[in-house]
A and B are shown apart, each in its own frame.
Chain A
Amino acid sequence: MIDARDVTKRFGEGASAVTALERVSLHVPEGSFFTLLGPSGCGKTTLLRLIAGFELPSEGEIALDGEVIGHLPPNKRPVNTVFQNYALFPHMSVARNIGFGLEMLNRPKAEISATVEEMLDLVQLGAFAARRVDQLSGGQQQRVALARALAPRPKVLLLDEPLSALDLKLRKGMQGELKRLQAETGITFVFVTHDQGEALAMSDQIAVMSAGAIQQVGTPEEIYTTPQSRFVADFIGDTNIVPAELLGYEGDKARIRFAGGQAVLANAASATLAPGAVHVAIRPETITVCDAADEAALLHGTVLDSSYFGAGSQMRIRLRGGTEVQAQVAQPSPTGCEVGLIPDTSMLQVLVD
């Protein structure tokens, strides 16, 4: 569907030039809900604007269905955008906003009004066709922006942090709404967000970005359970990042040892790291807490505190090396108690720094 090949984008000239994207390659499958996730300034919005045509790549090319589109102006691309601030036309009614794209494509009037009707139904705003857009609430404006971008039936819909202006409750509702719209229309969605929860909940695939480069692409589950780099593990949530020693590779597994423990096999994305100090990601829900004297314990530490969260308790433990980790358990050990930790080795992930 969308293929970006070695796309670099620089702003400015000469010495003051800022590189927003550095040789980014990406494949977005047809009909998928694809998310670009990263902190602000990571280049995700720049990548979206390159696909939309608001910016032209400094190097590299972007293709849609095998056809290179990187040089085309936005009005020549079968791609529409939902803007962060919606950018609805304030001097037009809701219906005319939605029909604007088709009007510019010179579609017959009957077709335009039929499509507008259909879109109004799709976003459940049937009663608002004649309203002025400034008479709508934020959530309603959001739906108009969606309907307006979907009305010309683009091959790709780009969404630039569309939910960030909504309050929490509305945002949760719109997440479901967006998933439904994507499934109903079958249009490929490229969604930009800095909210990892949003990305995990909605996406078929996520590309995690940082510093103008793509760190990892995968399904939400892959990104969550097998983060490949320290950045991804850190960004995707409350995972523990613990120092360890890499002894070597055995097949596609890595042999590692935590300080004072025995060697175990952990998952590794690729056998590229030299033996020595590495970081390993351990999910809090994969840790079993045992007696300090237990031979199976790979890590040792002191319980700092624990808090009850309903389905269990969250314990904070300071390891002997000084690193703090969290573990989710059914029965927390008392504060100050020495404990041993047994992580599920099938869920251990060696990280690239």
Chain B
Amino acid sequence: MGQGVEHTLSAAESLRQAAAARSSAQRRRRLFLLLPAVTIIGIFGLAPLSIALLYSFLEPGTYGGVEWVFSTDAYVQFLFERDIFDDSLIFNSAYLQIFARSFGLALFTMCGTLLLGFPVAYFIAARPPEQRNFWLFAITLPFWTNLLIRTYSMLLIVRDEGFLNLTLMKLGVISEPIEMLYTDGAVLVGLVYSFLPFMILPIYASLEKFDFSLLEAGHDLYASRAQVFRHIVIPISRPGIVGGCALVLIPSLGAYITPELLGGGKKLMIGNLIAMQFGSGRNWPFGSAAALILMALVLVAMMISLRAGAEKESRHG
């Protein structure tokens, strides 16, 4: 009897051990499968970010690069100017203005792509399934060409003797070319053009499965067309709208080529400011600091919008 109990115990023990061994083997395998992804995120995401963080707290080298001396000058420089005579700090809003201008332009770009992109996404989602691929193909077609080339073509279209001005003049609408190139308007048009697909595709994805009989149901229940749109179409496509806005807002904040070419680099944007610090400015720490400040601002903005979205969700239930 006693022996039997011992036997059972040891059997249970060995079962438990086997299970433990199995689960630890499983855990090892899971980690192993995660390894490639973790490695890539580590090398291409975290490492550059850490370098930028490190550099932002060092002093600039005379010919670029950094001096390995701890300093918070880069962050101080963002808001203040050092008086050349007595070394005192004077508030300087030049960089803040660059940030504000970039944010403004990015917000306009977001609104522009949303206003143009939503109807397009809705139109594609309302096509019969066999026609949708054609339209999606048409939307993504410009991506087959380099952004630089597309931006140069835009330049050719909007410049003084470009396609747009020549056509308008031939039609007699204007007698002198309108100066479009190197204006904020040209930059905005360029940004809206390059980021439009990033707005269309997420909204399309959220509307792809949309049941269009819901429109009839809403209309039947005394909602006008505008009310159907507001109470049914918008809430159901909200995830796509939020995703599209984030996908357009964030990269257009750091846009570099478009403001450079279409804006003529006359007014600095964040992207150009940062690029300059690593080039002619030879101030790597300040470039790093500006990049990190931008990132922090985006993160804060996203957290606020996410929280607002979550609250809205819970209120409606």
Residues of A within 8 A of B (CB): 52-54, 73-75, 79-81, 83, 85, 87-93, 96, 100-101, 104-105, 130, 148-149, 152
Find chain B residues with CB under 8 A from A104 CB: 218, 221-223, 227, 231
Quick one: given A85-B211, A100-B218, are A90 and B317 in contact (CB under 8 Å)?
Answer: no
Instruction: Give chain A nearest CB distance to B105 CB in angstroms.
Output: 33
> What DSSP secondary structure best describes chain B's contact surface?
helix
Return 13 A-B CB contacts under 8 Å, by A number: A53-B220, A54-B216, A75-B219, A80-B221, A83-B213, A85-B211, A87-B213, A89-B214, A89-B217, A91-B232, A91-B236, A104-B222, A149-B221
Query: Which residues 300-317 of B have a CB within 8 angstroms of A?
Result: 316-317
CA distance A104 to B221 in the complex (A): 7
Residues of A within 8 A of B219 (CB): 54, 73-75
CB-CB under 8 A from A100, the residues of chain B are 218, 221, 223, 231
- Nearest 10 A/B pairs, CB to CB: A101-B221, A87-B217, A104-B222, A87-B213, A104-B223, A74-B219, A74-B220, A75-B222, A91-B235, A81-B220
In the complex, chain B residues whose CB is within 8 Å of the CB of A90: 211, 236
Whole-angstrom CA separation of A101 from B227 in the bound complex? 11
A93 and B218 contact, Cβ closer than 8 Å, known pairs A85-B213, A87-B211, A104-B227 = no
A83 pairs with B317, CB closer than 8 A = no
Chain B interface residues toward A at CB < 8 A: 211, 213-214, 216-224, 227, 231-232, 235-236, 316-317
Since A54-B219, A90-B211, A100-B221 are in contact, a sample of 6 more A-B pairs with Cβ atoms closer than 8 Å, ordered by chain A residue number, is A73-B219, A91-B232, A91-B235, A96-B316, A104-B231, A149-B221
Report how far A309 CA is from B218 CA in the complex, Å: 49
**Alpha-carbon separation in the docked complex, A291 to B200 (Å):** 80
CA A46 to CA B145, docked complex, whole Å: 49
Which A residues lie within 8 Å of B221 (CB)? Answer: 75, 80, 100-101, 104, 148-149, 152
Residue numbers in A under 8 Å from B231 (CB-CB): 100, 104
Min CB–CB distance B310 → chain A (angstroms): 15
Closest beta carbon of chain A to B228's beta carbon, Å: 9
Do A93 and B317 form a contact, CB below 8 Å, given A85-B211, A87-B214, A104-B227? yes
A101 touches B235 (CB 8 A): no
Chain B residues with CB under 8 Å of A89's CB are: 214, 217-218, 232
* Given A87-B211, A93-B317, A130-B317, A75:B232 Cβ within 8 A: no
